[in-house]
């Protein structure tokens, strides 16, 4: 039995996504053909601005290469657009006269840049910004000419303007409205955006209507309706798009602005469908990627004979990143008699937030400067959640850790990738089912993050939440794919340029992803803490969620609470307190940990602040990249084999160095004799008591790859041990790569070099002085006594109500 022929006109993002959805459902159902106009396979049009800014190459934005078409038995006719449709014969005819028949036809012709119908619009040097070829022409012009005008201050226009500016052109953005991005931003946010872009070198002609484009052999400038003019060697039109519907000519296809479709993406003609920017649904032709992908899923269900919910339109949102200017917009942002706005502005951080409410529900939101809560607002908006339980201040200020997006608290149906409609639950399921350990793997499997890419940080947070330490091990040690800088280059640049915040580092050092990612956020935060111990305000939101929460998230979403028990020494009063609290809050499991502490497992987030308050104990930093625990035996005071007071020395070490940040966890074992009951030989800093003092071992690591420590020296006194430990801690802090254990650190630097540094009394003294300064600068640190006050507890463990 022969297959039906499915022909798709157009090789863009919406159309190919529809084919992907069909292939996922029924890969052998159709004989598929794609006929495209451009001379490329399918690519991510959203990333054209990255090519213009030379952050990516053309090859890097190809989402479906030629091998994909071949592997999925999709015939691709490239660079040969369809010139007409012969509906009666169910045939399409290409520009070179080739004829192909179809059983079902999908129109995915996309849209074209709208070119102002003014005199001079056909001059060389006037173009839109929609394709790879447009981008190549803009780059060529930037190498030859000096002045550019971008007509249109919308999202794409601003990205084009910044890209041309980065290539050395003098760029002026010409915008008819009173402020930039007037359909996505209110006046305040638009003016903030303009101010920031002006500071970066862009120029603006606001409220200007282009009356004429002047030039002879090539464009030379613009004339405005108010009589003023502007010189320009290149004019980029970015004032909107118009659906490509020219194929409707000579047919009975119903069109308005686009091909008119119903809720199942069917046109008025049998077996002809339309998807993407070329179609018009309920009077709306969408220009953003998320609704186009939603349409593709519905059409794929229909064409594979599956029951499907109708497409009923999309909630719109916009997120833009232009050289450090973060903004987010979603929903209706126009105030009237029914829609009321509530706003806040932080002049110091230059962060603006405005929410729009109608009939007790969120109607729209605008964020500028800090878009970390964009996902939270978008989900409230999409779910049409009632705001009855919220005060306006609680909507404006979540009071929760923002970088993680409160992943632990998100329900499974919470949207992570709005462009592709990928929820937290779908990502977690894919991680477990397919053993995914990186953002790239999640993107490949679920498509989360493969469009605009803005959600990749949140995808990483879901990975970190789901995998814990396994996520750390999956990626590169230290810095990430966002930059080519090594650890040493990064630290040197931070010092030389005097960079003081994570955001400054990413932008000043030209990270390819200016938003950063879950790998570089905590790494940069650590390096800044290490370089400026008394100046850098620890950016807690950039720490891993386990560190921020003073507990580890368990597989069921509950937490562990592990209070500090120095040297493993406890008391009846402490044990009674732990038992009372555990009984009161019905803690499911109490466990003696491998580090001689008592862990409380299965604690709900809501109970954590109350438990910490009633325990009156400090956090043990059990999951932090910091000085962890000191494991001890009972020592000579009780053990007949003991030669030294191991427990007393262990408590001194833990009391002195607790809470200090290190590149990775740092563990100590103090044994009173060579029997080494606490496995001192596989600790980062191991101490073994002998008759004449203490043998010191360094660089031992337990875990999946056990590494024996190397014998460094023998110390005669406890004071010498403490000084040597302090010197090693600081040397490791200053030279270690973030997320690098002491075993690979010791191998990388060389045991001889480390020994020479640590055993030199002068160097040892300097290192301990530097460590003392770092500890003094971190008196208020992420692991300080969390029961210092009820207010502090509430701040650290604020429970998000959304």
The closest alpha carbon to 703, from 741, 657, 663, belongs to 741
| Distance from C-alpha of 426 to C-alpha of 429, rounded to nearest angstrom | 5
Are the CB atoms for 213 and 222 separated by under 8 Å? yes
Q: Does the annotation list 419 as a binding residue?
A: no
Q: Does the annotation list 633 as a binding residue?
A: yes
| Distance from C-alpha of 491 to C-alpha of 563, rounded to nearest angstrom | 34
The structure tokens 């157009």 sit at 10
The closest alpha carbon to 562, from 625, 634, 611, 522, belongs to 611
- From the number of C-beta atoms within 10 Å of its C-beta (0-12, 13-18, 19+), residue 278 rates as buried
Q: If you ran DSSP here, which 8-state letter would residue 697 be given?
A: E
| Distance from C-alpha of 440 to C-alpha of 456, rounded to nearest angstrom | 9
| Distance from C-alpha of 160 to C-alpha of 155, rounded to nearest angstrom | 9
- From the number of C-beta atoms within 10 Å of its C-beta (0-12, 13-18, 19+), residue 132 rates as middle
- From the number of C-beta atoms within 10 Å of its C-beta (0-12, 13-18, 19+), residue 733 rates as buried
Are the CB atoms for 299 and 265 separated by under 8 Å? yes
Q: Does the annotation list 673 as a binding residue?
A: yes
Alpha helices by DSSP H, 595-666: 608-615, 646-657
Tell me the DSSP string of 746-791.
Answer: HHHH-HHHHHHHHH-HHHHHHHHHHHHHHHHHTSS-TTS-TTS-HH
The closest alpha carbon to 611, from 801, 796, 787, belongs to 787
| Distance from C-alpha of 726 to C-alpha of 653, rounded to nearest angstrom | 9
| Distance from C-alpha of 8 to C-alpha of 34, rounded to nearest angstrom | 5
Pairing of strands 42-43, 62-64: antiparallel
| Distance from C-alpha of 343 to C-alpha of 5, rounded to nearest angstrom | 54
- From the number of C-beta atoms within 10 Å of its C-beta (0-12, 13-18, 19+), residue 532 rates as middle
Q: Is the torsion defined by CA of 240, 244, 250, 256 positive or negative?
A: negative
Report CA-CA distances (Å) from 309 to 275, 276, 295, 297, 313.
Answer: 16, 18, 11, 10, 12
Residue 758: φ, ψ to 5°: -75, -30
Q: If you ran DSSP here, which 8-state letter would residue 265 be given?
A: S
Pairing of strands 82-86, 91-94: antiparallel
Residue 554 host element (H or E): none
Q: If you ran DSSP here, which 8-state letter would residue 478 be given?
A: S
Q: List CB contacts of 111: < 8 A, sequence separation 6 or more.
A: 130, 241, 242, 243, 244, 277, 278, 285, 287
H helices then E strands: how many in the chain?
A: 25, 37
Are the CB atoms for 768 and 727 separated by under 8 Å? yes
Q: Does the annotation list 639 as a binding residue?
A: yes
Known binding residues for [4Fe-4S] cluster: 633, 639, 673, 677
Known binding residues: 633, 639, 673, 677
Known binding residues for siroheme: 677
């Amino acid at each position: 039995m022969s297959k039906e022929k499915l022909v798709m006109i157009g090789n863009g993002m919406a159309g190919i996504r529809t084919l992907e959805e069909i292939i996922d459902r029924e890969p052998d159902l159709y004989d598929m053909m794609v006929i495209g106009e451009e001379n490329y396979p399918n690519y991510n049009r959203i990333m054209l601005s990255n090519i213009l800014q030379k952050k990516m190459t053309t090859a890097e934005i190809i989402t479906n290469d030629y091998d994909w078409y071949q592997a999925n038995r999709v015939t691709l006719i490239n660079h040969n657009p369809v010139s007409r449709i012969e509906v009666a014969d169910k045939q399409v005819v290409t520009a070179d006269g080739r004829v192909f028949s179809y059983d079902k036809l999908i129109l995915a012709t996309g849209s074209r840049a709208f070119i102002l119908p003014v005199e001079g619009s056909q001059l060389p040097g006037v173009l839109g910004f929609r394709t790879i070829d447009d981008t190549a022409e803009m780059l060529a012009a930037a190498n030859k000419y000096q002045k550019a005008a971008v007509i249109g201050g919308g999202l794409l226009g601003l990205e084009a303007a910044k890209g041309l500016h980065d290539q050395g052109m003098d760029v002026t953005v010409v915008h008819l409205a009173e402020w930039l991005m007037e359909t996505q931003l209110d006046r305040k946010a638009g003016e903030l955006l303009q101010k920031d872009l002006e500071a970066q070198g862009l120029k603006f002609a606001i409220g200007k209507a282009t009356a004429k484009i002047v030039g002879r052999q090539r464009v030379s400038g613009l004339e405005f309706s108010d009589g003023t003019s502007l010189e320009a060697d290149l004019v980029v039109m970015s004032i909107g798009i118009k659906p490509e519907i020219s194929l409707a000519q000579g047919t009975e296809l119903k069109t308005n602005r686009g091909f008119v479709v119903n809720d199942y993406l069917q046109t008025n003609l049998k077996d002809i469908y339309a998807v993407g920017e070329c179609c018009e649904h309920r009077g709306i032709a969408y220009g953003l990627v998320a609704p186009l992908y939603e349409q593709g899923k519905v059409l794929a269900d229909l064409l594979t004979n599956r029951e499907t919910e109708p497409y009923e339109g999309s909630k719109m949102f916009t997120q833009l990143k232009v050289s450090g200017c973060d903004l987010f917009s979603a929903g209706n942002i126009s105030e009237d008699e029914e829609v009321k706005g509530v706003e806040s502005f932080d002049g110091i951080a230059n962060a603006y937030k405005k929410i729009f409410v109608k009939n007790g529900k969120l109607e729209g939101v605008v964020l500028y400067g800090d878009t970390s809560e964009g996902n939270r607002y978008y989900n409230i908006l999409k779910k049409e959640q009632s705001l009855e339980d919220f005060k306006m201040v609680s909507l404006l200020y979540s009071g929760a850790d923002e970088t993680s997006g409160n992943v632990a608290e998100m329900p499974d149906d919470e949207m992570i990738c709005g462009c592709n409609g990928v929820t937290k639950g779908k990502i977690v399921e894919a991680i477990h089912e397919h053993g995914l350990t990186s953002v790239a793997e999640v993107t490949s499997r679920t498509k989360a993050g493969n469009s605009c890419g803005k959600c990749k940080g949140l995808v990483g947070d879901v990975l970190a939440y789901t995998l814990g330490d396994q996520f750390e091990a999956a990626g590169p040690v230290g810095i990430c794919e966002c930059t080519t800088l090594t650890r040493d280059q990064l630290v040197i640049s931070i010092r030389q340029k005097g960079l003081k915040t994570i955001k400054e580092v990413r932008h000043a050092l030209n990270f390819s992803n200016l938003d950063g990612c879950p790998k570089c956020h905590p790494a940069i935060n650590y390096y800044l803490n290490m370089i400026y111990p008394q100046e850098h305000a620890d950016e807690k939101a950039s720490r891993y969620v386990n560190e921020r929460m003073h507990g580890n998230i368990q597989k069921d979403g509950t937490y562990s609470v592990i209070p500090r028990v120095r040297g493993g020494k406890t008391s009846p009063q402490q044990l009674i307190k732990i038992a009372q609290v555990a009984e009161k809050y019905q803690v499911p499991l109490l466990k003696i940990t491998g580090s001689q502490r008592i862990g409380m497992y299965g604690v709900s987030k809501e109970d954590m602040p109350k438990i910490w308050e009633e325990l009156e104990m400090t956090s043990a930093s059990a999951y932090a990249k910091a000085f962890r625990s000191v494991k001890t035996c009972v020592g000579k005071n009780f053990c007949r084999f003991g030669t030294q007071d191991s427990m007393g020395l262990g408590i001194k070490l833990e009391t002195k160095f607790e809470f200090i940040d290190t590149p990775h966890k740092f563990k100590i074992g103090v044994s009173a004799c060579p029997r080494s009951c606490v496995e001192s030989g596989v600790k980062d800093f191991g101490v073994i008591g002998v008759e004449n003092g203490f043998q010191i071992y360094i660089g031992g690591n337990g875990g999946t790859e056990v590494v024996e420590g190397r014998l460094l020296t023998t110390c005669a006194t406890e004071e010498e041990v403490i000084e040597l430990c302090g010197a090693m801690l600081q040397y490791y802090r200053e030279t270690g790569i973030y997320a690098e254990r002491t075993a690979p650190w010791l191998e990388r630097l060389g045991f001889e070099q480390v020994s020479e540094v640590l055993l030199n009394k002068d160097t040892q003294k300097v290192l301990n002085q530097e460590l003392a300064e770092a500890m003094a600068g971190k008196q208020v640190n992420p692991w300080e006594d969390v029961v210092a006050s009820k207010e502090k507890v509430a701040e650290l463990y604020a429970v998000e109500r959304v």
